[in-house]
Amino acid sequence: MGKDTERISIRLVVGLTAVFLLCLWAFVAYWSLRSRDLEIDSTRVTLVRLSTAAEEQVRRMFKLVEVFLDTSDLWLANHPQADPLTDPQFSALVQGFYRASGNAIQLRLVKRDGALYRIPAEGPKPNARVGDRDYFLAQGDAGRRGFYIGTPVQSRENGHWLIPISVPLQRSSHDVTVLLASIRVDYFAGVFEQERIRPNGAITLLRRDGTLLARAPHLPQLLGKSAAQTDVFADFLPRAPRGVEFSSSSATDGVSKLTSYAAMDDFPLVVVVAAATDDILARWELDATVITLVGLILTVFALAASGRLIWLLRDQERARSELFRMASTDDLTGCLNRRHFMASLTREFSRSQRHGDDLSLMVLDLDFFKRINDGYGHAVGDKALGAFVAAAQSCLRQSDQFARLGGEEFGILLPVTTVEQAQPVAERLRQKVAEIRIPTPQGVVQFTVSIGIAAYSSDLASAEELLLQADRALYAAKGAGRNRVVAAPPAGLPADTVVTPG
């Protein structure tokens, strides 16, 4: 019963600990995944906001360019006699544009042969030759003619990177055929730099065909490069003109990013705002690390507490078992004591009464044991008892119960055993005892045992009657000369003695 209770208690502790740890780590996993999603969702909102702001800044600047170019074209159309390279009124108009744009937009004139001039011209010699530039060539191509955003160029005048925008004049004026507005790349780079998510985020302005126009962080070597094969142009834009998606790796820096992109409706431009995945999740990773450490600490604590509790349960069971052993066993021989044996006898007798099970009882007495104690001393007597117990236990089953009833008298309870089955066991035991030899200074000690056997029958009223029958069989064995086995007859019949020669 105690062992079963211990197992149930240990299983309960283990089960509760397992449930606690399962709930703990389920919470850690849920919190980690949920907080990660919230962090990404929050960044999505931020990226859309930044993308909208960047788109409006780009639109405002290009609208301004469009107004400047249209106004200049209209002025030249209304003043056909004025030389745009030298006319002071036109020069004042252009300078006003320059100041209104915060010095970010410059206007230039390009003649039919590709000669580029500042306004006002500094002389007959052009400031640069741009006949090979795409923004000039586009105005001679019917398919591209009109408001054309060119590939970023490094100015041949001052080395600045510029985004060129060209339009054809409605009417050629003094061989000038193209109006050119240039936006300094560092204007967009500066504006974007203030807004981008650090440290690895980026804001990029691209042409609709994927040509990179401006970027923060500013990397001049990337200007004019094509991003047509990136996720934004190859995958995202064909599905939707704007959105927020994860890109596996950036073509510019190889970093995985969450990207907000928007294709503008009124200009052939795309604004891309990206935040590095590592930057987005940096705070989440720190929080997840902390909560994981807390989870590990709680796990260690729970396992330690569970282990301690199991140890206490086992220690308690060991103490209980030891108390039970002390209360139920004989100190000298280690056999069951009389009180426990009688309780077992009563319990087995009741079971036989209920279910009709067979039950046999042996009562044993060491022959002339007092002579051993008196002639060789109690120490030798104790050795004789120990040797007898070992011999008896070697003949018994695990289900049999062996007890010292007092002095040199012992009892053996054999559940589910008939008297016919018990007799061979008793005989083997008698023979083993007869073979015991205990060497002493006074000589070798030998002794024998007398055994009485009784079996349960429905005529018996109590366990005490069964014991009385076994006692009578023992007395018969001793009366017949000792060193023999005697089986008691069934209740109500004359004594039937089975004698085995000694």
The predicted pLDDT at position 200 comes to 87
* Average pLDDT for 476-487: 94
Q: CA 335 to CA 328: how far, in whole Å?
A: 8
Residue 385 has pLDDT above 50, yes or no: yes
pLDDT for residue 405 is more than 50: yes
Residue 497 has pLDDT above 60, yes or no: no
DSSP state of 346: H
Report CA torsion sign: 282, 284, 290, 296.
Answer: negative
**Confidence (pLDDT) at 250:** 59
Q: Are 139 and 217 in contact (CB under 8 A)?
A: no
- What is the Cα–Cα distance from 348 to 402, expressed in whole angstroms? 14
Predicted pLDDT at 399: 92
Task: Judge whether residue 493 has pLDDT over 70.
Answer: no
Q: Which residues of 236-252 are buried (b: 16+ CB within 10 A; e: fewer)?
A: bbeeeebbbbebeebbb
Mind listing the pLDDT tens digit for each residue in 187-239? 999 999 999 998 888 999 999 999 999 999 999 999 999 999 999 999 999 99
pLDDT at 498 over 60: no
d(CA 164, CA 187): 13
The residue type of 204 is T
Instruction: Please calculate the CA angle 44-47-51 and round it to the nearest 5 degrees.
Output: 140
Mean pLDDT of 387-392: 93
**Mean pLDDT computed over 493-497:** 45
Here the tokens at position 189 are 């780079």
- pLDDT given at position 490: 64
- CA-CA distance, 285 to 39, in Å (whole number)? 11
Over 90: is that where the pLDDT of 331 sits? no
- What letter would DSSP give residue 401? E
Q: What strand order describes the sheet that includes 485-487?
A: 401-406, 409-415, 359-366, 449-455, 485-487
When pLDDT is averaged across residues 477-502 and rounded to a whole number, the result is 69
Which residue ranges make up each domain of the chain? 1-327, 338-487
State how far the Cα of 301 lies from the Cα of 183, in Å rounded to an integer: 65
Instruction: Kindly state the percentage of the chain with pLDDT values over 90.
Output: 73
Select the CATH number that applies to the domain covering 1-327 from these four: 3.30.300.210, 3.50.50.60, 3.30.450.20, 3.20.20.140: 3.30.450.20
Listed in order, strand segments (DSSP E) in 227-350 are 242-247, 257-263, 269-276
CATH of 338-487, one of 3.30.70.270, 3.40.1260.10, 1.20.120.420, 3.30.300.30: 3.30.70.270
**Is the pLDDT at 421 greater than 80, yes or no?**
yes
- pLDDT score for 333: 87
pLDDT (0 to 100) of residue 249: 60
What's the pLDDT tens digit per position in 80-97?
899 999 999 999 999 999
Tell me what pLDDT residue 247 has. 82
Per-residue confidence (pLDDT) for residue 2, from 0 to 100: 59
pLDDT-based confidence at residue 466 (cuts at 50, 70, 90)? very high
CB 381, CB 447: distance < 8 Å: no
| Gyration radius from the chain CA atoms | 54
Arithmetic mean of pLDDT over the chain: 90
Tokens of 499: 């004698």
Report residue 316's pLDDT band, with 50, 70 and 90 as the boundaries.
confident
Residue 484, strand partner residues: none
State the pLDDT confidence band at 3, using cuts at 50, 70 and 90. Answer: low
Q: Which two tokens stand for residue 435?
A: 């073979």
- Fold agreement (1-327, 338-487): no
Angstrom CA distances, 229 to 207, 232, 252, 377, stand at 14, 8, 12, 106
User: What does the pLDDT read at residue 185?
Assistant: 94
pLDDT of residue 495: 44
Does residue 501 carry a pLDDT above 70?
A: no
With a cut of 50, say whether residue 28 has pLDDT above it.
yes
Distance of CA 161 to the CA centre of its chain: 52
DSSP 232: I
**Longest alpha-carbon distance in the chain:** 160
Beta bridge partners of 149: 165
pLDDT band at residue 363, thresholds of 50, 70 and 90? Answer: very high
Q: Is the peptide bond before 217 cis (omega within 30 degrees of 0)?
A: yes
